[in-house]
């Protein structure tokens, strides 16, 4: 069976520890090349058994054997290298957030379509089957009519002085980095788009990036959404769906891989509580989904249109932060 041949643009930690190993586990894909502007590509290639090394991203994109590329570069570089990859006919898996604005993402989507390549933003968490289980429980009516959903993603940043997430020029900030997951999960689980958002945030005095944020979102049909994200709080990665008859708590929502790929879904209803365990290899499922779509010419479950919708909410969050008021999306 033919496999999709992948190239990696950057030696970013997420590539080395998660995505490259996932591609190597896949029955539909294999990694054949890596490029880096830092000079580390040869070292990483030797460690991870990657056959070819390039000293520039351009050289890798010129390789005719590469079908698809993974782009884990700083947020501010996503647009440039997505457009370059598409120009060279490469299908694209790009780290989140895929762009800095919805306008950028609209441009990227249009160009990828013109070049006939598939584009997918790397929100790997959504491929874990625990979320479909949550949707099933909601649809069953067990927790009644949904009235509120809250989502949280935080971690304590130990290396502020050298972490690119603290560099505004590179697209740093907690909303871009982890709040994007919270926004995505609200939209993904509720199957709805927010119409208004109001954000409060703490800005770093030196860099100006948001190091923590809390937001209230209003959805159609009277559903309220709340999220918080932070570089200043302990590691949390959860969401809760509250209905008229009960609630669902998902405490390993975004990184179940750090808990052995096991997700937990706790349901409280009618005075009873149960916890279901759901397993899934999120990075492998993500790689397989895009690779199969390329091989079989199938539509993606997470197309660029959904990325644009998520970016519009992120735009509105930063607009609310700047204006210090509620913003209509």
- Average pLDDT score over the chain: 97
Predicted confidence band at 71 (pLDDT cuts at 50, 70, 90)?
Answer: very high
Confidence of residue 1 (pLDDT cuts 50, 70, 90): confident
Percentage of the chain modeled with pLDDT above 90: 97
Mean pLDDT (whole number) for 152-164: 95
Sign of CA dihedral 316, 320, 323, 329: positive
Residue 221 has pLDDT above 90, yes or no: no
State yes or no: cis peptide before 97, omega within 30 of 0.
yes
117-152 pLDDT per residue, tens: 999 999 999 999 999 999 999 999 999 999 999 999
Distance of alpha carbon 24 from alpha carbon 5, whole angstroms: 11
Alpha carbon distance 321, 240 (integer Å): 24
Q: Say what the pLDDT of residue 51 is.
A: 97
pLDDT bin (cut points 50, 70, 90) of residue 173 is very high
pLDDT at 276: 98
H/E/C letters for each residue in 185-241?
Answer: HHHHHHCCCEEEEEEEEEECCCCCCEEEEEEEEEEHHHCEEEEEEECEEEEEEEEEE
**Please, what CATH class does the domain formed by 125-280+311-328 belong to?**
alpha beta
The mean per-residue pLDDT over the stretch 213-218 comes to 98
Q: How many CA atoms lie within 13 A of 178 on its CB side?
A: 29
- If DSSP codes are grouped into helix, strand and coil, which group holds residue 183? helix
CATH topology of domain 4-122: Rossmann fold (3.40.50)
CB-based contacts of 194, cutoff 8 Å, min separation 6: 186, 187, 217, 218, 219, 225, 313, 316, 329
| Both structure tokens of 277 | 């365990």
Over the stretch 13-34, which tens digit does the pLDDT of each residue have? 999 999 999 999 999 999 999 9
Q: Which two tokens stand for residue 203?
A: 């800005």
Counting beta carbons within 10 angstroms of the beta carbon of residue 10, is it exposed (0 to 12), middle (13 to 18) or buried (19 or more)? buried
Secondary-structure breakdown of the chain: helix, strand, coil percentages, each rounded to the nearest 5: 40, 30, 30
Question: To the nearest whole percent, how much of the chain has pLDDT over 70?
Answer: 100
Q: Residue ranges per domain, the chain?
A: 4-122, 125-280+311-328
pLDDT bin (cut points 50, 70, 90) of residue 220 is confident
305: number of Cβ within 10 Å:
11
């Amino acid at each position: 069976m033919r496999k999709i041949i992948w190239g990696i643009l950057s030696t970013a930690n997420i590539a080395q520890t998660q995505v490259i190993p996932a591609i190597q586990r896949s029955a539909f894909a294999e990694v054949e090349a890596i490029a880096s502007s830092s000079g580390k590509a040869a070292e990483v290639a030797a460690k991870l058994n990657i056959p070819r090394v390039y000293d520039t991203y351009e050289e890798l994109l010129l390789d005719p054997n590469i079908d698809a590329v993974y782009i884990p570069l700083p947020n501010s570089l996503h647009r440039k290298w997505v457009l370059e990859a598409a120009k060279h006919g490469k299908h694209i898996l790009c780290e989140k957030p895929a762009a800095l604005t919805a306008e950028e993402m609209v441009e990227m989507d249009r160009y990828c379509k013109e070049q006939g390549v598939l584009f997918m933003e790397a929100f790997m968490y959504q491929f874990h089957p625990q979320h479909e289980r949550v949707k099933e429980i909601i649809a069953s009516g067990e927790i009644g009519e949904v009235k509120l959903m809250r989502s949280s993603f935080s971690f304590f940043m130990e290396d502020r002085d050298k972490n690119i997430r603290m560099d505004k020029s590179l697209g740093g900030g907690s909303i871009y980095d982890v709040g994007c997951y919270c926004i995505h999960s609200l939209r993904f689980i509720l199957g709805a788009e927010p119409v208004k958002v109001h954000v409060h945030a703490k800005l770093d005095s030196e860099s100006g990036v948001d190091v923590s944020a809390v937001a209230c979102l209003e959805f159609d049909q009277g559903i309220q959404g709340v999220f918080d994200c932070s570089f200043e709080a302990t590691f949390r990665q959860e969401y809760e769906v509250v209905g008229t008859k009960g609630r669902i708590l998902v405490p390993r929502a975004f990184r179940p891989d750090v808990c052995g790929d096991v997700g937990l879904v706790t349901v409280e209803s009618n005075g009873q509580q149960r916890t279901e365990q759901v397993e899934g290899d999120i990075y492998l499922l993500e790689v397989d989904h895009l690779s199969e779509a390329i091989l079989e010419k199938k539509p993606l479950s997470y197309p660029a249109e959904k990325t644009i919708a998520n970016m519009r909410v992120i735009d509105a969050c930063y607009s609310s932060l700047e204006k210090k008021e509620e913003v209509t999306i």
